[in-house]
Chain A
């Protein structure tokens, strides 16, 4: 292997080479940018395919859970909480109603107007077999049920199931938290869904009538179901037009509906102009779904980073350069999208970016990607951008999952309501999480590729180690400063700098972990491999303090968590532990990277290609199958205990495949060289 090939990654070319290849990153960036901008333009345009102007309805500002938001957000959050899905596309599309991003609004409008089909929509999700049994169903009946099935008596003179669910939930609610059975948790959850639907159905929430005097509050059409309609609200224009809309929808009169809707919206635009503008914008933001787009683009960027890293030894210099720069272009564009989405959230909420678990996931992802882009610019290896993309995908998936809990821009508890401390302590500590995660992700790349492929030459290994060290320095800085700021906040808020509560302990654990890594390095107690292993360990500590400590209060006692988040954390933790311990069990000279330094490949090149592609295909297919089945909810979470194995399998497959191809290529070149010139 010639030295020039080894050095190639350090001399990314900006000049020379094929013009087409040089233009490629720009073209790619332009195409993606145009696609994103067109999407943004599209959401500013009304999209009314139905006779009823549901898209306009989605813009209407209403108040729920203490925040003024568009009707669209209310509908999406409610449907998400009830059905755990953001849309009921299939069913709606069959009826030819509306486009893909509006069913939630349609469902809620029909429900609030009291149209009969709203009672028939299968939106209530039930997973627990016990609860299914309670309502007289079996798993064969599916997971989704309609509100009508609860409210209508199953037979003449019989009692609606709703009452029995209510009694069971009331009983379960009295059971102490730590003694509840899964059935209890699920029946309480079901009752919560049903009562949300009920409150929406009678128009008790959201609050649609804005205050007319300074200091007043938004009011609902129905304050107390026992008192009937809220006279006060019906005296107001907003209340009257709302009722007119509902009546028109009930009577299936789209002209009346649209004109009442116009009146209602115009009134609010006139009356609470700032809120109306924000609400309309938020509806656009919802429709745009920046983080779903982000996930797709992060996957693209990650694949390109991976290819850049793997194909480094076999691609010509300008080809590799083009590939690397294209990957960077995609990564940078998606980072801009991520940043823009964060800024929009900051503006909509009027708060610093991190206010709850959901937004912490979004922000941690942003921090990791931002840091990794800088590293990638310096090292040009593809490793950092691979780490960035995987982190981006992972954190956004976590965020999407967390959004099922309700409004992602909900109001803050009084004690947390301090933009100054949210902006300093929370941001710093979250950047500390980001940096620790980034170090861990890069270290995982080092371990996986180092153990299974021959890509990790000394230079690359040293470069990666340098990155991890630098990132851990920043992680220590951010987590330490963040923790101290947190102490100061606590001291300013309730006179206690340090209280040893789980969240504080979690934060100090991250500081200690990073301090251990750095001191171990300074004392020459560990070398590259040790630092990598410890950096991966930082991930466990960070996950613990990010999620684990939150669950301690409720989670460790509650049975319900075993099928949910707790199991996921156990699986992730176990995988990370295995990734930490495998490199310690396997002596370094047996790592494929090091083995190849002294030995020829184990197999002839063609067999390498075949076995490599076999491993890769099996790995990819299995992972894809696991993913699909998990998304469908049919796979036991514990299958994911084998994730590390799949990772190693795919990496090894890729390594063998590429090495085989390269050796074949080199042999061909040799043969060509050996042939007489006349031939």
Chain B
């Protein structure tokens, strides 16, 4: 395909556009980093990187240019968001390949090239789709990377016959980068993350999403079953803003949201009790956690509950772990009402047999954390022990359970339980595959350049 200079496709495939887009992505990432001084990391990711357009307030530069200044700056500008820039880069890259990367192979060699690419792709696809090998991907992806190197080399050689030695490596590098972007896209929309908290000698089947809260009404149904009725955060917040009580019939009571606090901390208040002082507590609102603090928002809410028209009382609910649910007696049923992080439940339980937390002698620096767990899956009848430590997760049910931390009761300095990070990412393997593709591409390109350089050097000598 030969296009004139004025053809819009030429412009779309140009390196000039590539450079402009790369520069724009640099700017976007930079302001996205600065924005984390004021915003939480998830808000930044949604606003800057997983969006088509973003309004960048000039205020993000304040912390860079005038650290410590308290006044917020006005104005800002619109800018393409992460999705748009990445989309344009993909278009640019594909257009460039369509226009500039010509098939140079001829005859049988060309067909051999096509065959090799097809074979390599099929083998790779097979490893991803076949249940046995895809289990390997989940368990030990590093081994899988070594295996993938074989079909990738086939594809590389195939590209060599199709596009010629100079372009083959670059084709692979670009293909790998495209794959990586696609993988991030899948992660962006398909991955869930949560935490599982297990008390020492306790068990859990609950994964919490610490980015979102919900009001839960929980009732014991007997026979080891519980009924949960949950009001998501969005509904609580809008009920608070609109000053309209939540009257959904699913909820056993009418809920009036008096005050929603997005991030709170527990503060103690002295309470004089006779001749001594007791420490009581209340929840105080504070600024939202920012990305650079690596902290979690701990929302609290003040609600008034009504049974029909009868006012049951005003309650302070909070996600802060040490605040207990309130007990509610309604028509002979006992409900526990709490504000908690959004929960999902898995059909198996993990029981914490032992949690170890070693520190370096004479310091508070953690040396390692580890949890010995017992996994019980009634559905499959599986019952076994599992051991998790830093950099050594448990992989089960398409999920990975990582040792993330622990929660502790400081007064008696005793480990109370383990915190596991639970990741469920259907695209988790994609970056690994793309890493192999790019590596093979880089090696090919490097070797070819070296050979070319040597040939030139020999020719000139």
Contact = CB atoms under 8 A, between A and B. Distances in A.
Interface of A: 63-67, 178, 205, 207, 217-218, 220, 411, 413-415, 417-418, 421, 477, 480-481, 484, 487-488, 491-502, 505-506, 508-509, 512-513, 515-516, 519-520, 522-523, 525, 541, 549, 552-553, 555-559, 561-562, 566
Contacts of B301: none
B291 interface: yes
Given A417-B390, A556-B63, A509 B18 contact: no
Given A484-B438, A494-B423, A525 B63 contact: no
A488 B361 contact: no
A66 B15 contact: no
Contacts of A497: 183-184, 187, 425, 428, 431
B404 interface: yes
A218 B390 contact: no
B402 A493 contact: yes
Contacts of A512: 22, 25-26, 29
Which one of B292, B361, B421 has the greatest number of beta carbons of chain A within 10 Å? Answer: B361
B14 interface: yes
Interface of B: 14-16, 18-19, 22-23, 25-26, 29-30, 32-34, 36-37, 41, 44-45, 49, 63-64, 67-68, 180, 183-184, 187, 193, 291-294, 359-363, 365-369, 390-391, 393, 400, 402, 404, 421-423, 425, 428, 431-432, 435, 438-439, 442, 446
Contacts of A508: 29
Given A491-B428, A553-B292, A555-B67, A205 B366 contact: no
Given A66-B365, A525-B16, 18 more contacts: A66-B360, A414-B369, A418-B390, A493-B402, A494-B421, A495-B400, A500-B44, A500-B45, A509-B30, A512-B29, A516-B19, A516-B22, A519-B18, A520-B15, A552-B36, A552-B37, A553-B293, A562-B68
A566 B400 CA distance: 40
Nearest to B49: A500
B22 A519 contact: yes
Contacts of A488: 431-432, 435
A220 B63 CA distance: 44
A523 B362 contact: no
Contacts of B366: 413-414
A501 B35 CA distance: 11
> What are the 10 tightest A-B residue pairs by CB atom distance, in nearest-first order?
A66-B360, A495-B423, A523-B15, A556-B63, A553-B292, A414-B366, A217-B361, A505-B33, A66-B363, A495-B400
A493 B18 CA distance: 34
A494 B404 contact: yes
Contact of A552 (B184, B292, B428): B292
Given A501-B291, A561-B67, A414 B421 contact: no
B389 to A, nearest CB: 9
Contacts of B64: 556
B41 A498 contact: no
Given A502-B291, A509-B29, A207 B187 contact: no
B428 A411 contact: no
A414 B357 CA distance: 10
Contacts of A501: 36, 41, 291, 294
Which one of A67, A411, A494, A508 has the greatest number of beta carbons of chain B within 10 Å? Answer: A494
B368 A414 contact: yes
B361 A502 contact: no
B428 A493 contact: no
A417 B367 contact: yes
B361 A218 contact: yes
B143 to A, nearest CB: 13
Contact of A411 (B41, B294, B363, B435): B363
A480 B439 CA distance: 10
16 contacts: A67-B360, A411-B360, A414-B367, A480-B438, A491-B428, A495-B193, A497-B187, A500-B41, A500-B49, A501-B36, A505-B29, A505-B30, A512-B22, A512-B26, A519-B18, A523-B15
A103 to B, nearest CB: 25
Nearest to A556: B63
Contacts of B294: 501, 553
Which one of B29, B34, B184 has the greatest number of beta carbons of chain A within 10 Å? Answer: B29
A411 B360 CA distance: 8
A491 B187 CA distance: 12
A97 B439 CA distance: 60
Contact of B37 (A417, A481, A557): A557
Contacts of A64: 362
Nearest to A416: B390
Contacts of A491: 428, 431
A175 to B, nearest CB: 13
B423 A523 contact: no
B361 A487 contact: no
B29 A65 contact: no
Given A512-B25, A556-B63, A493 B423 contact: no
A65 B22 contact: no
Contact of A498 (B33, B37, B184, B446): B184
A487 B187 CA distance: 13
A497 B423 CA distance: 11
Contacts of A477: 442, 446
A267 B193 CA distance: 53
A520 B34 CA distance: 27
Contacts of A66: 359-363, 365, 367
Given A414-B390, A500-B32, A502-B33, A516 B421 contact: no
Contact of A556 (B26, B49, B67, B428): B67
Contacts of B37: 552, 556-557
B362 A516 contact: no
Given A218-B362, A417-B390, A519 B431 contact: no
B359 A495 contact: no
Nearest to A506: B33
Contacts of B404: 494
A435 B422 CA distance: 37
A484 B431 contact: yes
Which one of A477, A492, A556 has the greatest number of beta carbons of chain B within 10 Å? Answer: A556
Contact of B68 (A205, A415, A495, A557): A557
